[in-house]
């Protein structure tokens, strides 16, 4: 543990957090960060991190959308205690709680028809009054309703005083109770409202700390009113500011991709994404590079900033470059292989995978992401004679091909195929031709890799080996 935190008592096993995404097709960047904060808080305290899929909107909650969220969480390395809870499966329990409140006198039946409620709202609008249910059935007896009339169940909220949330991020935030109307718990068709479902599920899952986006702060007042009506334990709230775009505006598509999966597909490493999202709204001094283990050690809600953070894809790319350069070679081989195989349209052989491993120190130093890494490795696996890209082809004019001939002859005589020896030989030719090394390196690169950008030319010679290198050079010379 970090020494700074060593004297802080750890709450053991008491902490239970949850991430409660509504499946909308992908794991949103903001959702991913909320998930991480919940996960980190629970792991830091040795508690439980739970997952609840809020799939009550059946039209949107497809299995595909649920899978996309689960995959996104898995990619970020977030694991959850217990099986995920599916909110839609708990409707009977939600209804049961609404009826309990009815029985205890903390809720009542409201027989107001939709037309009546519309008229009520229109009148409020006309009178420029806040639009909220006016409590017309709060004190009426059900016997006053027509026989068999449908009804909703509404919670009886406090009318006087105020409700204050001691939010761990926002500080104390209050709302007058008069501003919270008697909202619906169970609709006349018997279906639970979102407000009821969240409160019941959080309670039944034993959630102690609610960490979520501050777009839910308004809901929190109603949820707390309901919790108090039920006499249940109140959770600790932490509403985190939303993520904005790099121009400070609300994050939207024009700022770039919103789903975590899109960044995975751009070749961002999971560790880099984790580190980037972590520092988006949470900080630990000036520490820039934070591993998962350090994050677990250090995570505390008082490190969460109060103002919205800005998502900057450039910074993410740069951070990713750092993670690429420092990643374990074998791990990168595993991660890059599927990309390479897709590019080549075939699988890599065992020997090719080994070669990729040998090339990795050189490749990873130049690549900002896995896509770049895969692309820069392709020259290793191309078959002779190479198909040159347009720029490489243009570079190989008759003069360049003549130079290649001298290089080929000199390298053929070379016995020690080492970085130093190949470099020395090539330099000697450059000197006798009175040319800069670059003038030789470019045509060599074109012939050896088929393109005009690659790792250092002597690294290329060593990685390809003498036979393959000479063969590739010869292929281009013969074309003249």
Catalytic center residues: 253
Taking the least distance from each CB to ligand GLU, the nearer of 205 and 374 is 205
Question: Does residue 284 belong to the site contacting ligand GLU (CB under 6 A)?
Answer: no
Q: Which of 109, 170, 167, 186 is nearest to 141 (CA)?
A: 109
CB of 90 vs ligand GLU, minimal distance in Å = 14
Candidates 18-26, 264-272, 273-281, 366-374; binding stretch for ligand GLU (CB under 6 A): 18-26
CB of 163 vs ligand GLU, minimal distance in Å = 17
Name the token pair of 294: 């350090």
CB of 266 vs ligand GLU, minimal distance in Å = 24
CB of 220 vs ligand GLU, minimal distance in Å = 8
Taking the least distance from each CB to ligand GLU, the nearer of 34 and 376 is 34
CB of 37 vs ligand GLU, minimal distance in Å = 11
CB of 23 vs ligand GLU, minimal distance in Å = 9
Q: How far is CA 293 from CA 43, 77, 271, 298, in A?
A: 10, 12, 11, 9
Taking the least distance from each CB to ligand GLU, the nearer of 216 and 439 is 216
Taking the least distance from each CB to ligand GLU, the nearer of 180 and 470 is 180
Candidates 19-27, 65-73, 124-132, 383-391; binding stretch for ligand GLU (CB under 6 A): 19-27
Taking the least distance from each CB to ligand GLU, the nearer of 27 and 447 is 27
Candidates 14-22, 98-106, 132-140, 184-192; binding stretch for ligand GLU (CB under 6 A): 14-22
The Cα–Cα gap between 359 and 447 comes to: 19
Q: For the chain, percent helix, then strand, then coil, each to nearest 5?
A: 50, 10, 35
Candidates 15-23, 56-64, 158-166, 288-296; binding stretch for ligand GLU (CB under 6 A): 15-23
Taking the least distance from each CB to ligand GLU, the nearer of 192 and 450 is 192
**What region, left, alpha or beta, does residue 206 occupy, with left being phi > 0 and alpha being psi -120 to 50 degrees?**
left
Positions in 197-236 near ligand GLU (CB under 6 A):
198, 212, 216
Positions in 31-90 near ligand GLU (CB under 6 A):
54
Taking the least distance from each CB to ligand GLU, the nearer of 85 and 335 is 85
Q: Given candidates 21, 47, 72, 192, which one binds ligand GLU under the rule CB under 6 A?
A: 21
Question: Does residue 20 belong to the site contacting ligand GLU (CB under 6 A)?
Answer: yes
**Count of residues binding ligand GLU (CB under 6 A)?**
7
CB of 197 vs ligand GLU, minimal distance in Å = 10
Residues that bind ligand GLU (CB under 6 A): 20-22, 54, 198, 212, 216
């Amino acid at each position: 543990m970090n020494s700074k935190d060593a004297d802080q008592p750890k709450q053991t096993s008491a902490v239970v957090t949850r991430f409660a995404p509504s499946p909308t097709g992908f794991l949103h960047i903001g959702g991913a960060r909320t998930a991480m904060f919940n996960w980190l808080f629970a792991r830091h305290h040795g508690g439980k991190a739970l997952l609840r899929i809020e799939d009550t909107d059946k039209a949107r909650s497809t299995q595909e959308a649920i899978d996309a969220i689960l995959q996104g969480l898995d990619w970020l390395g977030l694991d959850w205690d217990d099986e995920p809870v599916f909110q839609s499966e708990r409707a009977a329990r939600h209804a049961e709680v609404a009826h309990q409140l009815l029985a205890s006198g903390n809720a009542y039946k409201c027989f107001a028809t939709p037309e009546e409620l519309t008229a009520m709202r229109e009148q409020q609008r006309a009178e420029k009054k806040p639009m909220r249910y006016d409590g017309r059935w709060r004190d009426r007896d059900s016997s006053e309703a027509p026989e068999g009339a449908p009804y909703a169940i509404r919670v009886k909220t406090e009318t006087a005083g105020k409700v204050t949330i001691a939010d761990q991020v926002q500080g104390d935030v209050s709302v007058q109770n008069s501003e919270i109307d008697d909202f619906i718990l169970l609709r006349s068709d018997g279906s639970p409202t979102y407000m009821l479902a969240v409160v019941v599920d959080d309670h039944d899952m034993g959630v102690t700390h609610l960490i979520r986006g501050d777009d839910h702060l308004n809901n929190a007042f109603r949820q707390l009113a309901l919790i108090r009506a039920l006499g249940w334990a109140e959770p600790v709230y932490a509403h985190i500011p939303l993520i904005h775009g790099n121009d400070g505006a609300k994050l939207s598509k024009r700022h770039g991709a919103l789903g975590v999966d899109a960044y995975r597909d751009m070749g961002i490493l999971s560790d880099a994404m984790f580190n980037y999202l972590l520092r988006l709204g949470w900080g630990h001094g000036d520490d820039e590079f934070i591993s998962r283990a350090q994050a677990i050690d250090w995570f505390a809600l008082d490190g969460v900033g109060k103002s919205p953070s800005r998502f900057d894809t450039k910074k993410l790319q740069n951070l990713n470059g750092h993670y690429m350069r420092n990643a374990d070679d074998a791990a990168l081989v595993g991660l890059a292989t599927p990309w390479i195989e897709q590019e080549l349209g075939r699988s890599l052989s065992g020997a090719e995978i080994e070669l990729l491993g040998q090339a990795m120190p050189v490749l990873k130093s130049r690549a900002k992401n896995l896509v770049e890494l895969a692309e820069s490795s392709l020259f290793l696996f191309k078959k002779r004679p190479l198909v040159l890209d347009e720029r490489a082809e243009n570079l190989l004019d008759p003069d360049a091909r003549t130079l290649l001939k001298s290089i080929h002859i000199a390298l053929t005589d070379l016995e020690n195929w080492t970085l130093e020896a190949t470099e020395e030989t090539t330099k000697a030719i450059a000197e006798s031709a009175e040319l800069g090394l670059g003038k030789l390196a470019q045509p060599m690169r074109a012939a050896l890799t088929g393109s005009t950008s690659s790792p250092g030319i002597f690294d290329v010679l060593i990685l390809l080996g003498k036979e393959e290198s000479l063969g590739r050079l010869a292929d281009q010379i013969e074309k003249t």
